[in-house]
Amino acid sequence: MVILVDTNILLDFFQDRESFRKDAIKIIQLCSTHVVTGYIAAHSITNIFYILRKDYSPDKRKVMLLDMCRTMNVIGIDQQKLIESLVDESFDDIEDYLQFEYAASIGADYIVTRNTDDFSGSTIPAILPEEFLVKLEAVYG
């Protein structure tokens, strides 16, 4: 099973968001042990580096994100996808459009996110972390 992990799931993990961290840890562990093939968008790394600036030093953020890059597959941005994100009217948010495009390009089964409404225009199902874990349990036991 192939998934694209949205930025908010990674932030749940890094920021220790109490209500959400447990599921984020499980998803990252499933990716690191290759139970599922997990991808993250390269721009998620730069966004997280910026968002975590109040919580961690630059050196600590680099180490944390380097570990994540070694755990997950990272898919990069290109000029064509960026241009498409600016002209496509099916998504209001460029970042969500790029997440969808990356998910499509890797043949993802799901986009794992806490903001499923942001992907209403997606042909790749967007699924909450807890729903994904239930589906995975049903498939793999």
Q: Structural domain boundaries of the chain?
A: 2-140
The CATH number of the structural domain formed by 2-140 is 3.40.50.1010
How far does the chain reach from its first CA to its final CA, in angstroms?
14
Above 90 in pLDDT, residue 128?
Answer: yes
d(CA 16, CA 25): 10
* Mean per-residue pLDDT, 111-131: 93
Above 90 in pLDDT, residue 56?
Answer: yes
Residue 1 banded pLDDT, cuts 50, 70, 90: very high
Amino acid identity, residue 130?
E
* Mean per-residue pLDDT, 32-51: 95
Of the candidates 98, 136, 99, the one whose C-alpha atom is nearest the C-alpha of residue 114 is 99
Range of lowest pLDDT (11-15, 31-35, 84-88, 102-106): 84-88
Amino acid identity, residue 46?
T
pLDDT recorded at residue 42: 93
d(CA 113, CA 62): 23
d(CA 67, CA 64): 5
* Mean per-residue pLDDT, 29-55: 95
Three-class SS of residue 9? Answer: helix
User: By the 8 A CB rule, do 4 and 106 touch?
Assistant: yes
Residue 89 banded pLDDT, cuts 50, 70, 90: confident
